[in-house]
Structure 1
């Protein structure tokens, strides 16, 4: 009876074939783990040494940057906002991907594929092709993302010179604008204007809203518009949101790249008596793409908010409740005026700004980076230079952990048809002073962390699911147009020391 445990002995040729196969696979594996190692042990040692020392040098550089960034968190922002450096990184990734794939092909050659049997040869070819394609595709995709980021930096951050803080604060004009599809005008016309006055040390922020229908206001002393309108913007039918169009049509800012925005800045400085450090323009036609890119925002909808107007075939409503809105819904939540008024809309816009600040985490941006970069690059332009991105990113993280104050220059505080400029300046000074920390608080903010969580994200309190009905809702007050308050009594989000609670 035959021995069931008997196994036929492999011939010398079979054993040699297995050794060659294992050697070929080992060369591919070490090329994956340490590019150039296959050449060092079995091929052109000079090529192997160059590849290995390149990898070691890059690894040490990455570790050094990581360790420094633990102490100086702004380093990554500094490195990530230099277009020339991003161009070098993109080129390096492309060359590295091609070179690594070439090392895999050479490692396959060093494995002597012609000495393998047909089955082994097919396996080695398949694995080599998969590895070479994978590493090259990964690095080329990384180069693509770097190029997307580089394009976003070059498109958005067009400023060349950094501005100093004015009286300890940076005043950023945020303009929501639209082009109306070129039907009646060219270029973007500001449809929403808000000044974010940010403490340069603590990040404490006050949002100052300016109504689009403000009339008879002065411009910054000595500005081209001040010379054209020494008694204020008092022409027939002239409103704040028409300053940009007037300046573009009349060419009073010959040396400015964007005359309309330059004139708008002069108007805002004349109205608020604040020195504007920078401006940022958001094309509202692309705003929904930004919201979609970050995954939507959660808002407390207190009343049905119309989407469109009754004559639109898509006309509907956003129903009350705490809801996560997509970009289309968020845009209409912020812009809707049907069954409402401009001032309620301004209040809702501030709630949207607060939600985006509090709910957008660095992890969300990284997860959807390509979509975020594409949307912001096509939608936002600003005079902030790349050198200041690190500063404002740090201030934004600090602002997440603090209450945001608001002031809106609207009725009943301000008569938009005949504004009292002395009163407006006094109200602005008072709001800014309340949002300016005392010396000991500023020192504490400088010496302590910005209050972020373990993952670098400040945890914002979730809104409570308590939509109020129209009319008197007790402590919350009346609700009109979707915002707490009313036109006659004022909307809470338009003037508050804690925007989150008013939203």
Structure 2
């Protein structure tokens, strides 16, 4: 015969109060347990089945992540998967709240003294609010992730690693509300080992002239001798390839992003490396992204002006170790041209990129994801398909453990007005080979030695007898830049 439920009226007030609190707390620890103990066992068993099912899914994903991290991330990053997770979190919040309410009912609050009933009611209300708020907040994060993936990552064509490496072109440029990166101000090729994530940053100065294009492309037919100032004016530098192609869409029929396509082709011809994907970053919106992640910390070797050029200098980012920069100051650190060369500026930009790679923790991404996603939608444009998000997230996690090395095609080795492209390709290959040698040796390596030659000029010289010659449009200055890419003296991430 079924066991009869005890008559609560025969229990003392302290026992009834303790029982009511216990039922509520049982629901927090194991949803459904209060119903199993004092209510509908059927409802309790259904709650247990749901909990067991969720635990099984989580355990499965954890185990899958241990053996196939990139595949697990790809699965969880799919918009369809994220929508299912969002709905499940909302349903779980509703169901759990219902169990709390039922547990409160099972505690027979009307049989309690006024103060005890008040305590029980407050506890139950607080727990409902806490649990439901946490689950709804989780659903909003998942929705932000889904919206971010759908907005930034598309259904682009998957590109296989070339010789064991993914080469991602990073373009950065100032833009208005209706144009993103019309003239890339920063051109960097990130060459990433497809197995270890070890990365080499290859910097190309924006004033690189005479850039060639791969044979058979529309731009190669248009500029058989390279993108030369003699052919199209003083503005025919590598950073103007984007604008030229965007203004001559007829050369790229059916291509929604001719500027990016032409720039990728130019970078391939200059470096001798296949470009798998591109990421175009709006530097003006970059400030919001850095603010969303809490800024970055750098060792700064020399102070950098805020402003300059067409606007007055408003102040300085002072030199010093462990300088924490918010979005505003980090953006000026990366973009400032005053009192420095373009090549030094390239080095600062690489420091900012390295700092973001090394300092952006999974905890930061999780806790500030909504701000990151919101800023990124306005900042980032890319052709990396959503299905490859896990692959590159996986590589980024590995890359955080390894220092980033670099090469920049800058004076005195490379004269930007009349570049030796064969030499650039040789130096790029050497930089990649040195990086791969560290992986083959099984060493973490310091990876901090730049392969870019420093200028032999330690101090600028002056002369009253000889006036420096005026270079042709797009040509290099006769005196190499001082401290070119000298990471130790300029900055350190």
User: Does residue 287 of structure 1 match 2:281?
Assistant: no
1:16-415 to 2 correspondence within 5 Å?
16-74=12-70, 76-181=72-177, 188-234=182-228, 235-236=232-233, 237-251=235-249, 252-309=251-308, 312=311, 315-322=314-321, 323-415=323-415
Q: CA deviation at 1:226?
A: 2.3
Alignment-derived partner of residue 463 in structure 2? none
What runs of 5+ residues in structure 2 fail to find an aligned partner? 1-7, 449-456, 461-476
Q: CA deviation at 1:351?
A: 2.1
SS of 1:330's equivalent?
A: helix
What runs of 5+ residues in structure 1 fail to find an aligned partner? 1-11, 452-458, 462-469, 474-485
Mapped to 2, the partners of 1:460 and 1:396 lie a distance apart of 16
Deviations 1:187-245 (A, max 9, x none): 64311100112222333332211121222222222223223333322311222222222
Mapped to 1, the partners of 2:162 and 2:9 lie a distance apart of 83
SS of 1:435's equivalent?
A: helix
- TM-score, scaled relative to structure 1: 0.80
Q: CA deviation at 1:72?
A: 4.0
Q: CA deviation at 1:275?
A: 0.9
1:407 and 1:495 in contact (8 A); partners too: no
Q: CA deviation at 1:104?
A: 1.3
Q: CA deviation at 1:372?
A: 2.9
CA RMSD in angstroms, aligned pairs only: 3.3
Mapped to 2, the partners of 1:240 and 1:310 lie a distance apart of 21
Mapped to 1, the partners of 2:160 and 2:26 lie a distance apart of 53
SS of 1:189's equivalent?
A: coil
1:149 and 1:373 in contact (8 A); partners too: yes
SS of 2:171's equivalent?
A: strand
SS of 2:340's equivalent?
A: coil
Q: CA deviation at 1:337?
A: 0.6
Q: CA deviation at 1:288?
A: 2.0
Change (3 A) 1:47 1:353: same
1:177 and 1:191 in contact (8 A); partners too: yes
Mapped to 2, the partners of 1:82 and 1:54 lie a distance apart of 23
Deviations 1:414-472 (A, max 9, x none): 2323333333333333333333328xx53848xxxx89xxxxxxx999xxxxxxxx966
Change (3 A) 1:261 1:207: same
Mapped to 2, the partners of 1:408 and 1:313 lie a distance apart of 29
Q: CA deviation at 1:490?
A: 5.2
Deviations 1:232-279 (A, max 9, x none): 223112222222222222213232232221121112112222110111
Q: Which moved more, 1:429-438 or 1:143-152?
A: 429-438
Deviations 1:254-310 (A, max 9, x none): 322322211211121122221101111111112122323333222232222110127
Change (3 A) 1:501 1:199: farther
SS of 1:324's equivalent?
A: strand
Change (3 A) 1:390 1:181: closer
Paired positions, count: 456
Mapped to 1, the partners of 2:272 and 2:31 lie a distance apart of 61
2:13 and 2:113 in contact (8 A); partners too: yes
Mapped to 2, the partners of 1:186 and 1:362 lie a distance apart of 28
Mapped to 2, the partners of 1:501 and 1:304 lie a distance apart of 10
Mapped to 2, the partners of 1:274 and 1:162 lie a distance apart of 17
SS of 1:97's equivalent?
A: helix
2:299 and 2:491 in contact (8 A); partners too: no
Q: Which moved more, 1:198-207 or 1:280-289?
A: 198-207
Change (3 A) 1:22 1:409: same
SS of 2:278's equivalent?
A: strand
Mapped to 2, the partners of 1:125 and 1:188 lie a distance apart of 60
Q: CA deviation at 1:130?
A: 1.7
Mapped to 1, the partners of 2:447 and 2:20 lie a distance apart of 55
Change (3 A) 1:404 1:231: same
